[in-house]
Structure 1
Amino acid sequence: MKQFKFEYILMILIMTFLSVKAKGQETDSLEHYLEVAARNNPGLNADFLTYKASLEKVSQAGALPDPQLDMGIFLKPMNILGGQQIADFTLMQMFPWFGTKKTAQSEATHMAKMSYEKFRETRDNLYMEVYRQWYLLSALKEQINNNRDNLQLLKQLEELALRKISSSSSGSSSLYSLPTPPPVTQNNRSTSAGNKMAGMGSMGGTAMSGSNSSSMTGMSSSASNMSADMSSSPGMSDVLRIQLEMIEIENNITTLLSDIAAEKAIFNALLNRPVEIEVVIPDSIVKVPFIFDERVSINEIERGNPMLGMFEEEELAYRAKNEMDKKMSYPMLGLGLQYMLIGENKTASMDSGMKPEMSGMDMIMPMFSISIPIYRNKYKAQQRENRFMWESARENYNNTLNMLQSELFKLKHELDNADRKITLYQKQAQLARVAYQLVVQEFVTAKSDLTNVIQVQRQLLDYQLREAEAIAEYNMKVASIRKLGSFNTSNN
């Protein structure tokens, strides 16, 4: 019991430390949102209050049964030897067999620990939902960045197509080149679009050494009014196809922004906050560092999984209940006191020869009682019931452990697949960037048509989107593996 109280106090201190630590963290960090969810989520708070209520049963189980007071008053005093009996009072206190209270407290303690394990299970499920929403939002944000980067590439391609039309009409045979799109890394994601525009600016200065800003403005206006001179401008269909691709990507960005707004509402609901509160998402999604160790993971599951802990406490609770029922089959002892209120009866005293000073004396009588549990079958049945229940809890423990180990290896397999996908899409995206630069060079020199350019551009965007999804999937699998052993401060 003392050890359990120490564990409860230690848990309160840890939660207080985490609360103080979170106040010094950035409000846009995942750790901060996890702390807010643990503090505000109504479902988690409900389970914690249930746990606190179960702690109160420990002291209740160790209390003695209430004493019993019997009172009887004679409406007409009854004549007895030595006076008239007016009333009778009996106070009796029953005591269970030795050690019964201790075993009852032990059972209540284990039941309270079961409530705490249920609270931990609810907390881990809540953390998992927060992790899932966080990585989903990060992946959507990364996909928006990828679409915007590809939109910039299409704008650059549109400018090349317009220059190609302009050079064709003027009879110029100057060549145009597009620099290789810089590889998008986690460090330069926020500035990749700016770098591409800067690169395009330098390319434009090289390709149009004889042009100025006024000519660019004129070509932009001609693109907006292309319907008037489409028939007289060869290559204008390429510009239209590029603009169709741009409209599609702009629609993708709008859809992703709408998805983010919906997922933010779900995220705020987990934190029990108004849905309109802004959720600060990092600019890019990164793969969390994780090293899988089979033996360590299995040990963490056996040591920390709340479902296993719940079955362990259930078994111990039924073992304690079995001991308590066994002691309840022994006799109960009772100590009491009887007090009889007797009034004086002078006539009866003179007739009986009793001394006058002894007439009307109240009587006090100590009492002792004992229960006789002669119906043994019900007590034996209770003990058999408890034995079956703790054996059932043990089987549930073994079955759950097997399922958790199977889930662990399944998650490890899915984690490896996600890791391979990340590597694959990174390589494919890198090759697609090189291919895109080459096919654009072929396009401006009339060695390739626009169809090939758009196809490679679509492939590049597809690989980037798949890479973001694969990273989010990888991070979710890591969180799922950690959940099997129960989240702790080092995991968070």
Structure 2
Amino acid sequence: MKNVFKLNMVLWVMGILSIPAQGQDLKSLIDLALTNNLEVQQLAVNHKRALEKENEVDYLPDTQVAVGVFTSRPETRTGAQQFKVSLKQMLPFFGTVKARKNYATALADVKYQELVVKKRKLILGVSYLYYQLFQNKASQQVVQSNLSLLKTYEEWALTAVEVGKSSVVDVLNLQIRQNELNEKNQVLREQYEGLSAELNALLNRDMTVKIEVVSELLIPERQALKAVDKLEVHPELVKYDKLYHSISDAEKLNQKQRKPLFGFGIDYISVAERPQMNFGDNGKDILMPMLSMSIPIFTKKYRSKTKQFVLEKEALSLGKQQRFKELESSLYRAKSDRNAARIQYETQNKNIRQTANATKILIKSFETGTLDFDKLLEIQELELKFQLVKIQATRRFYEQCALINYLIQ
């Protein structure tokens, strides 16, 4: 393997910063996903819509205008009333409009937090798929390398058969093993296409776009796990805080809405002149300013809302505690799995070195005598197994690093 790719898990958005090798950079794929992903775009639109709600709630009650014509004109001293025009404007209690805007802002904050959570999960999902693609590609290269090695062994076996130092059975065994590895290689290629399509779906682009990833990752030096109290600012938990705050604002609005409404207006009545009469106020129109107040006498619904808000806050508090415990458990489990992956990685390195030494010993014996192809094939199968397990352990290590950063970054 010639391509070396290192990830420093404590940098960049989720602690993911790549040193590019041959293959696509994980950071660029994540940036593309954050820009193109449809769910992220949908949540961003929902957040904008929630922000626009602030303008919607900044209003006063509609102005009431009424016009009436007297079908039977009532007579007054100054003349008969012809028609009446009324104008009335109600005003909410002091601070009600501000309370509505605060509540709308709080709901917009909740929508924004949902967007933040989705982006984090998207980054984690893209990272997982990337590491799966890495495992697949690295496995393909290992299988291909072992196929080339088996081809060489087959040539040696054919030579040994010609000089009577080996059996045709050894050749057949080597060929059967090659068939198995060819099958495995083809399966890996098909799986790579499926994983690529899944990643392209997250990137919101054509499923057939080819994705090239690195074929080798190095596990860095041991890193201390960050403090657990970082979980307190995890966006999933912050969302609970935003919801709690929105309920507080909803209750403030509820208290404002149970207050009286005040109104002012004016009535204008057109009065016709009395015929054949001459006095100062003859036909004088009537203008009557008015003040009004709407008193909410039946307040049961407001009291009920207050009780509901109290219960909802209690439910949110319990939900946040439960989610914190789940995230905390995931954090410690990820730490353990990451350590286990490192142990497995280091063990496979030792096993690979030892099988390489065993292979050298067997090959050296071929120079002086017969070569035990059964033993050679057995060791080759062990080495392939160790190489694949090492790749799997590397993938698991970086997946757990990505999960840890999702939880505490």
Common fold: TM-score over 0.5:
yes
1:290–1:478: 8 Å Cα contact kept in structure 2?
no
Q: Which residue of 202, 205, 211 maps to 1:270?
A: 202
Rounded to whole Å, the distance in 1 between the matches of 2:255 and 2:357 is 80
State the superposition RMSD in angstroms: 2.3
Which residue matches 1:115?
A: 111
Rounded to whole Å, the distance in 2 between the matches of 1:161 and 1:100 is 91
Alignment partner of 2:211: what SS? coil
1:331-410 mapped onto 2 (5 Å cutoff)? 331-346=260-275, 350=277, 354-355=279-280, 358-410=281-333
2:225–2:335: 8 Å Cα contact kept in structure 1?
no
1:137–1:281: 8 Å Cα contact kept in structure 2?
yes
Rounded to whole Å, the distance in 2 between the matches of 1:445 and 1:89 is 120
* Offset of residue 325 of structure 1: 1.4
Matched, 1:59 2:64: no
Which residue matches 2:337?
A: 414
Which residue matches 2:87?
A: 91
* Offset of residue 263 of structure 1: 0.9
Which residue matches 1:160?
A: 156
Give a deviation string over 1:131-174, Cα, whole Å, max 9, x none. 111100011000011111111211221222233234448xxxxx
Q: Which residue of 33, 42, 46 maps to 2:29?
A: 33
TM-score normalised according to structure 1 size: 0.74
Which residue matches 1:307?
A: 236
Rounded to whole Å, the distance in 2 between the matches of 1:333 and 1:87 is 26
2:63–2:90: 8 Å Cα contact kept in structure 1?
yes
Which residue matches 2:10?
A: none
Rounded to whole Å, the distance in 1 between the matches of 2:194 and 2:140 is 15
Which residue matches 2:351?
A: 428
Rounded to whole Å, the distance in 2 between the matches of 1:363 and 1:279 is 83
Which residue matches 1:474?
A: 397
1:319–1:387: 8 Å Cα contact kept in structure 2?
no
Give a deviation string over 1:320-375, Cα, whole Å, max 9, x none. 1212212222211112222223333325xx2xx743xx333333222111112222
Equivalent AA in structure 1 for residue 378 of structure 2: Q
The size of the alignment, in residue pairs, is 389
Q: Which residue of 376, 397, 406 maps to 1:483?
A: 406
Give a deviation string over 1:423-447, Cα, whole Å, max 9, x none. 1111111211111222233356456
Which residue matches 2:13?
A: none
Alignment partner of 2:85: what SS? strand
Matched, 1:82 2:78: yes
Alignment partner of 1:346: what SS? coil
* Offset of residue 71 of structure 1: 2.4
Which residue matches 1:125?
A: 121
2:157–2:373: 8 Å Cα contact kept in structure 1?
no
Rounded to whole Å, the distance in 2 between the matches of 1:483 and 1:289 is 20
Rounded to whole Å, the distance in 2 between the matches of 1:309 and 1:421 is 36
Rounded to whole Å, the distance in 2 between the matches of 1:342 and 1:390 is 60
Rounded to whole Å, the distance in 2 between the matches of 1:324 and 1:61 is 12
Which residue matches 2:15?
A: none
Matched, 1:450 2:373: yes
Rounded to whole Å, the distance in 2 between the matches of 1:290 and 1:475 is 13
Q: Which residue of 158, 168, 184 maps to 1:236?
A: 168
* Offset of residue 472 of structure 1: 0.7
Rounded to whole Å, the distance in 1 between the matches of 2:34 and 2:245 is 29
Give the % identical residues.
Answer: 25
Using a 3 Å threshold, how does the CA distance of structure 1 residues 359 and 158 change in structure 2: closer, same or farther? same
Runs of 4+ in 1 over 6 A off after TM superposition: none
* Offset of residue 290 of structure 1: 7.1
* Offset of residue 77 of structure 1: 4.2
